[in-house]
Chains A and B, each alone.
Chain A
Amino acid sequence: MSARAILLTLSLSARAAGFTHAADDPRVLDFAPPSPGTYELHRIMRAPDEDVLDVDGRRARLSQLTRDHITLLGFIYTSCMDPEGCPLAYRVFAQLKDQIQATPALRDKVQLVSLSFDPARDSPSVMRQYAGSRLEEDGGVRWLFLTTPSVKELMPLVEGFGQDVRYSIDRSSGRPVRQLAHVLKVFLIDRAGYVREIYTSTFLHPQSILADIESLLIEQEGASGAPP
């Protein structure tokens, strides 16, 4: 087994353990969020669009995959070990998936997207491993695990969404630390392709996100005259 494969295995094992604990550790709000539909979610910006790959390596435009759903999209990289980064997002997404699954009015209208910003490591097959059993739940809430063919396709997405990516420097040695440092953001995208809310890992609360999703559905209902 190569060093890289070992590291990947360790990473996946640690993540799996963390995931188990996280499901028992829902984040709770210290306030009651305003009721869905009583506040405005502005069109912050149009979501960027580029070619992405699903876990089978099929190429599609991101917009093709998001146009029919309200989408919650988060950037990840599978080797991320920051407990307040990708693993946290995975936990919150898992909680949301379960809650959306249990709400018939939401089930077919909302999807989750985890998009890698490490195309060099996160091939479609690695993303499939990362997704694990989440991919295999038939009839459930759709959760897409996407990557990009290369950095060329990735960068317009990273820049367009405003997902910060930096490298760091170890001050004690003065040398660059080649670690991908990022403050994780999660983007709520409406069916028309507009980013309507942006969450950070510091304040990523399923209850608040669900209220926002419901607000978008109420807005859609008002626009179409049809029930959501």
Chain B
Amino acid sequence: MSSTFPRLHLGRVLPALGLAAALGAPFAAADETCNSPYIANLIKGQEDYVYVWALGVEGLGDGSDKLVTVDVDPKSKTYGKVVSQVSVGGRGEAHHMGFTDDRRRIWAGGLSGTDIYVFDIATDPARPKLAKTIKDLGTKTGYVGPHTYYALPGRMLVQALSNDKDKGGVTGMALYNNNGDFIARYPMPVDKGGDGYAYDLAVNPSKNVLLTSSFTGSANYMRPLGDLIKDEAAMKRFGNTMVAWDLKAMRPTNVMAVPGAPLEIRWSLTPGANWAVTAAALTSKLWLVKQDAKGQWQAKEVATIGDPAKIPLPVDISITRDGKGLWVNTFMDGMTRYFDLSNPEAPKQTYEKHTGRQVNMISQSWDGKRVYITSSLLANWDKAGDDNEQFLRGFTWDGRELKQVFEVDFTREKLGRAHHMKLGSKVLRVAYR
């Protein structure tokens, strides 16, 4: 691919630019629908790659956490195959990742420590390179387990899950610039109803609001799930709140009661929309966060996911670009469900399919026609034996049926446990080098 699309030098590119602009040459734009609104260069057509952040498994391959690049262009000769992988040299409970606002880099991290890995995906989108490791999160903030990487202009807001004192869930956010220089820390509120816990974050700049959700600390998420659920005291140490923040001032404005560990937050992408949804993992409920008549952000339960008595454990959600549909993955029963969100006050499940023995993350293309699913939740929470499938599965979605079109077996390929995904495109190269 690099030979087909050679890197261009700015000095050679620029003289031709005026002509292209005058002719109205289109700029490609598609992407999964759950990124920061500040992220540039969305991909509106066919994505070329799925980047999978994978947890290393001892004795499997090099055993290291790694970023795996899978070719997902159906027209490619390597469709559905791994085209590159880059290890970080150790295991640290690889979990989530996020693009910088210019989409030139992916920041990724692990929940067991504090290191943050920065991958260059713009020089050669098919072959990301580890460009930098940020090592000062712990010393600058006291936080552990960097989880969410959320792009702000020229900066990255990092949500941690735990702290280095008691490994509990009281934690906060850290702000870095895109060069990886630490700027500031923001503790999660522990007053006015706040429990100090954190998980995801998502912003709506048009409303000047940042929402955060809450999970649990390292002492819980690094513990085998079977042990944990028998420990009544430990099971009380899960987040039960969401917080609305003044985005500009980075101050909490109100704490909302959302029991049962609210996880991923998805804003409606419809211009002018003033609502977001989340799924509470332990109670298996969908919640709507919306402004009331006074402009205050309020949360309310709006739907049930599966049978809460069976603890299906909703672990990831993906909203469609028009805000009218929501994919929900539940880990324990391996189900992928689709909810009609036309009325966000009353979501209705319209489809379900068993997509794996254990399923975790779900991402969709901008047009919603392609859906990607991975398998791993946490190293110590994944199932055992034959149920411990580790994969990236690609599906097509025609509005009626999810049809699997490829699979990468992460165990057979000696890659590890497949977790978070981001979509990539070979058109997104830098114009200069």
Contacts and interface: CB of A to CB of B under 8 A. Distances in A.
Interface of A: 4, 7-8, 10-11, 29-31, 33-34, 38-40, 42-45, 77, 79-82, 117-121, 150-151, 154-155, 158, 162, 164-171, 174, 176-181, 183, 185, 195, 198-200, 202-203, 208
A178 B16 contact: yes
A100 to B, nearest CB: 20
Contact of A180 (B9, B21, B24, B40): B21
A168 B432 contact: no
A168 B206 contact: no
7 contacts: A34-B248, A45-B177, A77-B14, A121-B14, A166-B429, A168-B27, A176-B8
A121 B18 contact: yes
B2 to A, nearest CB: 12
A39 B38 contact: no
Given A43-B183, A45-B154, A151-B10, A7 B427 contact: no
Interface string B415-431: 00000000000111111
A19 B38 CA distance: 25
Contacts of A121: 14-15, 17-18
Nearest to A212: B248
Given A30-B206, A151-B11, A181-B41, A169 B26 contact: no
Interface of B: 4-5, 8-11, 13-22, 24-28, 37-38, 40-41, 45-46, 101-104, 122, 153-155, 175, 177-179, 181, 183-184, 205-208, 246, 248-251, 272, 426-432
A104 B16 CA distance: 43
Given A180-B13, A180-B14, A185-B154, A200 B21 contact: no
Given A79-B18, A120-B15, A165-B430, A198 B155 contact: yes
B183 A44 contact: yes
A170 B45 CA distance: 11
Q: Give the 9 A-B CB pairs with smallest separation, nearest first.
A: A79-B18, A164-B102, A183-B40, A39-B249, A179-B20, A198-B153, A178-B16, A198-B154, A169-B427
B22 A195 contact: no
Given A121-B14, A178-B17, A179-B20, A166 B41 contact: yes
A135 B181 CA distance: 38
Contacts of A42: 175, 183-184
